[in-house]
Amino acid sequence: MVEFLIEHGADINRQDNEGWTPLHATASCGFVSIARYLVEHGADPAAVNSDGDLAVDLAVDIQHLAMMDFMQKVMTEHNIDCEKARQAEEQLMLSDAKKWLRSDASEVDRPHPKTGATALHVAAAKGYTKVISLLLAGRANVDKQDNDGWTPLHAASHWGQKEAADMLVNAMADMDIRNYAGQTCIDVADRKMAKFLEELRSTSNKRVKRRPSSQIRISDKIENHIDNTPTKIIRVEVKSDQSKDQANGSHGR
């Protein structure tokens, strides 16, 4: 079946909604012959899933010796540094985010043509906090929904990215938005993450929320202007009716 699909144009490196490629799936099941076929036909052994795992990592997880030996051999033959491969996507996203901030901020919220996910969805799911910080600075839409109705906060919650979730909530992400299955960010989280989110909700109203940069610039300029401007006292003389009558009488003489 695998051969049939590949021969008929299936994308050998297509990732599912958790970032798994066919090679990830094969490595996690220990099917060495299928893994070999995939690699021979262009499968990328450096692909990273949403948990930050390479296919070789999944082979190690299940302690399948034959698959571990095969995948480690593949990594060596392809001259792939595992640690650099795990960081490659984050570094690329950092580079893109910096470029968008310098030139075209409209790219920040550009959705993926097939999934509708934005860069903030991906960064949130994978816990790329440096990328998230840059995207928020570029005014990324924290409540943007993908084709399944998931927001970046749904993504961070589902994959247990606590720091990412905290950053998003601090940037005023709406914790009550439901995806198209009717689930909030808490509904898609595991028990530990759900507890963290509940605590985050209870404390978020007490925090100082991040203001849009335009508001920060405007308000700070106003405050600075007020602080730096000397107080000017205007003396206003209020005349009584009697004084007015006397003044009018003197003019009439």
The mean pLDDT values, 10 residues at a time, for the chain of 253 residues are 90 88 96 97 92 92 95 96 90 91 84 92 94 94 97 96 97 97 97 96 68 40 38 42 51 50
Q: What separation in angstroms does the CA of 29 have from each of 35, 37, 182, 194? A: 10, 15, 33, 30
- Report whether 169 contacts 143 (CB < 8 A): no
Q: Are residues 111 and 199 in the same domain?
A: yes
Q: Are residues 155 and 116 in the same domain?
A: yes
Q: For residue 144, what pLDDT is reported?
A: 97
In this structure, the dihedral spanned by the alpha carbons of residues 213, 109, 17 and 55, taken in order and rounded to 10 degrees, is -80
Q: How far apart are CA 244 and CA 241, in angstroms?
A: 5
Q: How far apart are CA 139 and CA 72, in angstroms?
A: 42
Place of tokens 């049939």: 4
Q: Are residues 7 and 94 in the same domain?
A: no
Q: Are residues 48 and 139 in the same domain?
A: no
Rg (CA), the chain: 29
Q: Are residues 104 and 175 in the same domain?
A: yes
Q: Are residues 110 and 176 in the same domain?
A: yes
Q: How many domains does the chain have?
A: 2
Q: Are residues 68 and 100 in the same domain?
A: no
Domain boundary among 180, 204, 228: 204
Domain range for 64 is: 2-80
**Entry pTM:** 0.67
54 falls within a domain: yes
